[in-house]
């Protein structure tokens, strides 16, 4: 039986509320510094949602291009770190793109002045402007993939992926399978999303899923995954990019690996329109599948980068799933949720968290779960707090669980 082709990560790039680039994220993680703050890029006075994990967008012209901008910046950094040479004589058919694509934000010029009119928010007019701007700018998933493929010299398959909050991990998993089956030698994988706009935020608000600061409360303390005081998640935006390569391709060109994409697993609860199964059955199935794909047991995992949104149901369901899979070790394995720092990036969440997991493997560092103070007895986990934890990190399980029970997990191993 032929040996399965191993998949390596040779470059990463990231944009989120923590900043632009790997260096900014390393510094924020080490300092235990979050990026959730008051919304600045649209007039939120009188709007029911006032906080978000806004990503820096310096240099972005007015218009609906935030998602595309974040994706381009993250991929450029990943390609630069990988030192992946441009293909000679045209795009390389052995290079593919698999990208998790969220919903582009309502353009700034469509939002300007609405809160100042004194007439409230005219939702039908905002929606009309949103649709028109997308049509005029051609900001579709196909257009984004075309741009990313051009940037990376990818002449092979181009796949847009959307499985809600599991999208980033599913994009990585699809890229992994392409390389394992010999359909590609290089896959530019990742995800981008930007839903910090009135229409998108109101959708989440109507689901009663968002956390809100109390009067005088610091926005950075509002997102509290696994804490008994948690009341919902905070929307973030940005992008995470990873260059995946077959072992043979990486060796032939003399590239340096950052980490190995060792395992991938997915499942679907099909339990409800938005709810996951309260006992975490689908989430547990995805974790087991990812570990089996990696040929690893739960005891080999040093750190779980939890989905950890900060909603009551999702955190308890994830905790239940971890106990199902890890048994007694569920109280020992280190766990944290970086969403308390970045906000929830929806389609881009697990792509960004995969990048942060790679940094943890490289640096021997487990980032803290900010704002965790009062443990929920129904989330009986070893949550890392304070300034994080230093020590050997050889294998990470990174979880991504979406609306309706769409689940995807990846296992990342030290190079």
Residues identified as active-site:
165, 307, 344
Q: In sequence order, what are the residues at sequence separation of 6 or more whose Cβ sits closer than 8 angstroms to the Cβ of residue 164? A: 346, 347, 402, 403, 404, 406
d(CA 104, CA 158): 19
* Alpha carbon separation from 52 to 99, 173, 326 (Å, rounded): 23, 29, 33
**Can you tell me which residue has the tokens 């896959």?**
187
**Can you tell me which residue has the tokens 């990026």?**
35
Q: How many CA atoms lie within 13 A of 173 on its CB side?
A: 29
**Can you tell me which residue has the tokens 């689940």?**
407
d(CA 99, CA 97): 6
* Alpha carbon separation from 141 to 61, 148, 200, 240, 390 (Å, rounded): 20, 11, 18, 16, 39
DSSP classification of residue 273: S
Q: Which of 138, 103, 77 is nearest to 347 (CA)?
A: 103
User: Hey, CA dihedral for 366, 369, 375, 380, is it positive or negative?
Assistant: negative
């Amino acid at each position: 039986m032929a040996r399965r082709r191993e998949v390596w990560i040779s470059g990463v790039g990231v944009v989120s509320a923590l900043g632009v680039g790997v260096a900014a994220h390393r510094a924020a993680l080490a300092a235990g510094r979050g990026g959730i703050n008051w919304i600045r890029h649209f007039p939120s006075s009188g709007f029911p949602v006032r906080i978000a994990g806004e990503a820096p967008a310096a240099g972005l012209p007015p218009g609906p291009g935030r998602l595309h901008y974040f994706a381009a910046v993250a991929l450029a950094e990943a390609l630069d770190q990988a030192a992946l040479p441009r293909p000679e004589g045209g795009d390389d058919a052995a290079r593919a793109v698999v990208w998790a694509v969220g919903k582009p934000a309502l353009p700034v010029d469509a939002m300007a002045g609405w809160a100042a009119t004194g007439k409230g928010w005219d939702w039908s007019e905002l929606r009309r402007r949103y649709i028109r701007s997308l049509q005029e700018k051609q900001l579709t998933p196909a257009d984004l993939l075309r741009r990313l493929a051009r940037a990376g010299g990818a002449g092979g398959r181009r796949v847009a992926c959307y499985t809600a909050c599991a999208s980033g991990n599913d994009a990585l998993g699809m890229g992994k399978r392409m390389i394992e089956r010999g359909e590609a030698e290089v896959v530019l994988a990742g995800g981008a999303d930007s839903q910090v706009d009135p229409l998108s935020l109101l959708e989440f608000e109507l689901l009663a899923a968002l956390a809100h600061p109390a009067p005088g409360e610091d926005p950075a303390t509002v997102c509290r995954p696994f804490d008994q005081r948690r009341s919902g998640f905070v929307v973030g935006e940005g992008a995470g990019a990873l260059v995946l390569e077959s072992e043979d391709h990486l060796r032939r060109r003399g590239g340096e690996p950052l980490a190995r994409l060792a395992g991938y697993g997915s499942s679907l609860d099909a339990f409800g329109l938005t709810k996951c199964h309260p006992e975490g059955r689908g989430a547990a199935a995805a974790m087991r599948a990812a570990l089996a794909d990696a040929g690893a047991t739960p005891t080999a995992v040093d750190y779980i980068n939890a989905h950890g949104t900060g909603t009551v149901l999702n955190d308890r369901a994830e905790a239940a799933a971890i106990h199902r899979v890890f048994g007694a070790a569920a109280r020992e394995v280190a766990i944290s949720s970086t969403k308390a720092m970045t906000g929830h990036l929806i389609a881009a969440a697990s792509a960004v968290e995969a990048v942060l997991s790679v940094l943890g493997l490289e640096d021997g560092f487990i980032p803290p779960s900010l704002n965790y103070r009062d443990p929920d007895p129904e989330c009986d986990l070893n949550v890392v707090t304070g300034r994080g934890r230093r020590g050997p990190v050889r294998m990470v399980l990174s979880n991504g669980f979406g609306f309706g029970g769409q689940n995807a997990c990846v296992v990342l191993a030290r190079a």
